[in-house]
Amino acid sequence: MTSYNKLSLRIGLTPTSDCNYLPGEQEQLGVVMDHQWMTPLGYGVLIASGYRRSGNALYRPMCQSCQACTPLRVDCEQFAPSKSQKRQLNQMKKLRWEFKPNLDPDWFALYERYIRLRHAGGTMYPANKEQFFDFCTAAWMDTLFLHVYEDNKLIAVAITDVFDDALSAVYSFFEPESSLSLGTLCVLYQIQYGRQTGRKWLYPGYQIDRCKAMNYKVRFKPYQKLIDGCWQ
């Protein structure tokens, strides 16, 4: 078994560019250059140190003038739903959910509708299968696909990386015209699956307080933030 405490970690810096989340800020990423880290065990070490995965690439923000992106993880064991989340948990009773190793055959129709109606101005429009798999999956990573059904109709999918002691929320898409809070429900299902399988943490990505689309993660409590290299 590889001892990751003894491995070097070479980081390559991307050129600075306009931030996708905060207007007026410049973004720069540190990307892992050593392929020895690209295993479930290696990534498990890095995600606990603030890194994330995009396709095969492992990265973390290393912006020169901004530290807005804060790594966050939710405690699945101790999770206590808020009043609104309790209402959403009641919504879950009329739905069926399952984690699968592969996507259902009809997944792309849902994904295409989600991108077209929610993200027509984004870089993932128009929806493309190859681009989706390049972004969401890695050949070396253990990944499951949460499927959510209403009356046997697929209404949401959440791509989830699986570690021995944790889960990582990679990406989700859902029926854009549903009256249900499907984005929140996907997180609640991931937390529930973590509890059922004895996994302590759910890593939902970076918390960005000043970005409306990225500041929802603190609604799932208790959580920890990685600050100055320490989870607190």
Report all structural domains of the chain as residue ranges with CATH numbers, in order of start.
4-70 (no CATH), 73-231 (3.40.630.30)
Which secondary-structure segment (H or E) carries 83? helix 83-91
Mean of all residue pLDDT scores within the chain: 95
pLDDT at 121 exceeding the cut of 90: no
pTM: 0.94
**Cα–Cα distance, 11 to 36 (Å, whole number):** 13
**Cα–Cα distance, 60 to 49 (Å, whole number):** 9
Predicted confidence (pLDDT) per residue in 146-175, tens digit? 999 999 999 999 999 999 999 999 999 999
Return the SS3 of 44.
Answer: helix
